[in-house]
Amino acid sequence: MAGVEADPAHVARDDEFLGSALASLTERQRRVVALRYLQDLSIEDTAATLGISQAAVKMAASRALVALRGRMEGSGRG
């Protein structure tokens, strides 16, 4: 929102929560999340970058999102 400043303490808690949530994922899940959602790579490009199948990318992304959603719901954030 324009003109609304973020509370630094709230932002710090969010960053800490996100870091903890990402750390709870497997290494493959973290790498898939980073490439697919942070670097905005396609499934095909993510698979090629990681040297895994497109099906493996889809499965890792799906499981990662389920795990992250569960952490958010468990913390009252989702």
Task: Name all domains of the chain by residue range, CATH numbers in brackets.
Answer: 27-78 (1.10.10.10)
Count CB atoms within 10 A of the CB of residue 8. 8
Give per-residue pLDDT as tens, 19-36: 888 999 999 999 999 999
Task: Report the alpha-carbon distance of residue 53 to residue 60 in Å, rounded.
Answer: 11
Could you identify the residue written with the tokens 């499981």? 63
Which DSSP state fits 36? I
The sign of the dihedral angle between the CA atoms of 13, 14, 19, 20 is positive
28: left (phi over 0), alpha (psi -120 to 50) or beta: alpha
Computed over every residue of the chain, the mean pLDDT equals 88
% residues pLDDT > 70 (the chain): 90
